[in-house]
Amino acid sequence: MIKKVISAPGFHPVVICADDYGLSPGVSRAIEELIAAGRLSATSVMTTLPDWRTQGPELKALTRSHPADIGLHLTLTEQPPLTACTGLAESGRLPGVSAVLSRALTRRLPGPALRDEIRAQLDAFEDVWGAAPDYVDGHQHVHSFPQVGGILLDELTRRYRHLAQRPYIRSVWESPPRLRRYGAATGKGLILSALALPFDRATRRAGFAGNDSFRGLYDFFMAGDYRPLFRRLLTAPSRRTLIHCHPGRCDDLLHSRDGLSWPRERELAYLSSDACAEDLEEARIRPARFAGLAEQA
Give bridge partners of residue 169 from the DSSP assignment.
Answer: 136
**pLDDT 10s digits, 5-22:** 766 678 999 999 999 999
Question: Is the predicted pLDDT of residue 295 greater than 70, yes or no?
Answer: no
Nearest-angstrom CA–CA distance, 236 and 31:
26
pTM value > 0.75? yes
Give bridge partners of residue 168 from the DSSP assignment.
Answer: 135
Q: Which of 1-15, 21-35, 49-63, 160-174 has the lowest mean pLDDT?
A: 1-15
Sketch the domain layout of the chain as residue ranges.
12-296
Helix (H, G, I), strand (E, B) or coil at 17: strand
Predicted local distance difference test score (pLDDT) of residue 6: 66
**pLDDT 10s digits, 82-141:** 999 999 999 999 999 999 999 999 999 999 999 999 999 999 999 999 999 999 999 999
Which range of 60-64, 215-219, 235-239 scores highest in mean pLDDT? It is 60-64
Give bridge partners of residue 98 from the DSSP assignment.
Answer: none
The architecture in CATH of the region 12-296 reads: Alpha-Beta Barrel (3.20)
